[in-house]
Amino acid sequence: MIKLIATDIDGTLLPPAAGEIPEDLVRVMRALMGHGVKIMISSGRPYTGLVRVFGFISDELIYNCSNGGCLYCGGKMISVRPLGSREEMEYLVGKLRAMGRTFTLDTPTACYTENLSEEIFKRSIQAGINMIRTRDVLEVENPVKISIAYPDGGPDAHRNDPDILELGRYFQAVPAGAMYLDINPLDGGKGLGVRKVQELYQILPEETAAFGDASNDVSMFAQTPNSYAVEGSAEDVLAAAAFRIEGPEEGGMLHYMQGLLASCEALWKEK
């Protein structure tokens, strides 16, 4: 029986840029948690943005924020994975500045930028992200993730970018969404958060199900034999998953959760 669901948001649990969570999905999530199933929201977004969207559902939701950079359970931060040492951060930020790239830096409590456009800055604030302008992101404590904007060529443009390829010696560089490339620690990623929750609650890999549609979800797939890629995902994502699931527009996650809930209720009746 599945005891932990780890799911990406945009393009997996919800349609991209969804304004609200469907009531049917809210009901089934609450019902599953009532049966003891842990639900982990795994995202590249920082904690403040996730709570803004999902906080009304339950205090028991688990937030795997900033691609595993920090983990919140029951409203408390239980782990932080730093992006890099001071020397590594100086190298990374210096490289991005020299490239002229627009980027943001996540910490467990806020998101900082030196050069984000005013339009995207305001949009982030409206989404509930604690976005802060700073003259020097190197002065910020506890960096856990950097996101590089690729508004023109899309995040896959990095595959031919020699400067980004060079960063790959020290960091993970994975596409996230339509216009961002996320920079994580080499041993980081969403899978790190899944593994920590498995250890914390003594949940086995076979009792875990992971869902995603992008390259930054693949590390979650390695933590369980029950991995699901959304139909139409990139080839590397589909290849990494054991199963496929319909997208949110077709109710893929909703139908999966409803099926799991039916199994939980059947077991409860047997007892």
Determine the Cα–Cα distance for residues 110 and 84; give it in Å rounded to an integer. Answer: 17
Q: What is the DSSP letter of 14?
A: B
Query: What are 71-106's pLDDT values in tens digits?
Result: 998 889 999 999 999 999 999 999 999 988 899 999
Pair type for strands 76-80 and 70-73: antiparallel
Q: What is the pLDDT of residue 158?
A: 62
- What domains, with CATH codes, occur in the chain? 4-80+188-270 (3.40.50.1000), 86-185 (3.30.1240.10)
CA distances from 206 to 1, 120, 198, 225 (A): 8, 40, 10, 6
Determine the Cα–Cα distance for residues 82 and 105; give it in Å rounded to an integer. Answer: 12
Q: Band the pLDDT of 152: cuts 50, 70, 90.
A: low
146 vs 49, more confident: 146
Q: pTM for this structure?
A: 0.89
pLDDT at 125 over 70: yes
